[in-house]
Structure 1
Amino acid sequence: MENHKIISALCYASLLFAPFLLPLIVYFVIKDKEVKYHARRAFVSHSIPTALSILLAIFGFIGMLTLDYNNMSGYVILMFVLMGIYFLVTIGIIIWNIIQAYRIYRVGF
């Protein structure tokens, strides 16, 4: 049972070294329901910053192609605000994942 706690905690902590790759592998390889539950939660939490960064990149690319130099100041301010929101959300998710990994490892399922 100790191995299941370690694997579940690693799914959350893998945001720092192998985001959503390790939880995806664990979800399909491990048969324990609790480990699958934590792997799925970790995968979803790892996917949020990735999805936000892809949306931010698409929005930036479209804006870069459609705006001219004279109308760019409002767009640049908007992009910096969106990047700030992205970084705050990402830092919050990193902290949440680390707390979840600690809770799983120390307290249990």
Structure 2
Amino acid sequence: MDSNKVIASLCYFSIFFAPVILPIVVYFVSEGETKVHAKKAFWSHIVPYLVLVTGFIVFGVVGITTNSGTIAGLSFITIFLIFGLLCLFYFIWNIIKGIQVLQGKA
């Protein structure tokens, strides 16, 4: 098995033990296809958090402009529902991509 495939696959599997950190390290110390997979893994680890921050900003704006607890409460639940589904999607996507890289399909 090619060590570059294993390292690229570990970038995706790092969602279990070192999300964001391992893909950044691999990105700066590798080259070629491994660097491409490290970049993809980094973004797939960071996107859910960007959505969460955006959701809090939208939640704050909606809550401030409406002054209604009902609307703010519904938007809060909606934001966390979207965040949870997005996290689940990216978690599963990272596992699938890690397996595909190991098998040489990606």
TM-score, normalised to structure 2, is: 0.85
Q: Which runs of 4+ in 1 moved over 4 A?
A: 60-68
In the comparison of the two structures, how many residue pairs are matched? 106
Q: Which deviates more, 45-54 or 55-64?
A: 55-64
Identity of aligned residues (%): 32
Trace 1:36-51 onto structure 2 (pairs within 5 A): 36-51=35-50
Equivalent residue, structure 2, for 1:57:
56
Equivalent residue, structure 2, for 1:88:
85
Task: State the AA in 1 paired with 2:46.
Answer: S
Q: Deviations over 1:79-105 (max 9, x none)?
A: 101110111111001111100001111
TM-score, normalised to structure 1, is: 0.83
- In 2, distance between residues paired with 1:16 and 1:58? 28
Trace 1:57-76 onto structure 2 (pairs within 5 A): 57-61=56-60, 71-76=68-73
Q: Deviations over 1:34-80 (max 9, x none)?
A: 00110111111111011112223334455666775xx2011101110
Consecutive unaligned residues of structure 1, counting only runs of 5 or more, are none
Report the RMSD for the aligned CA atoms in angstroms: 2.0
- In 2, distance between residues paired with 1:93 and 1:107? 20
- In 2, distance between residues paired with 1:40 and 1:80? 31
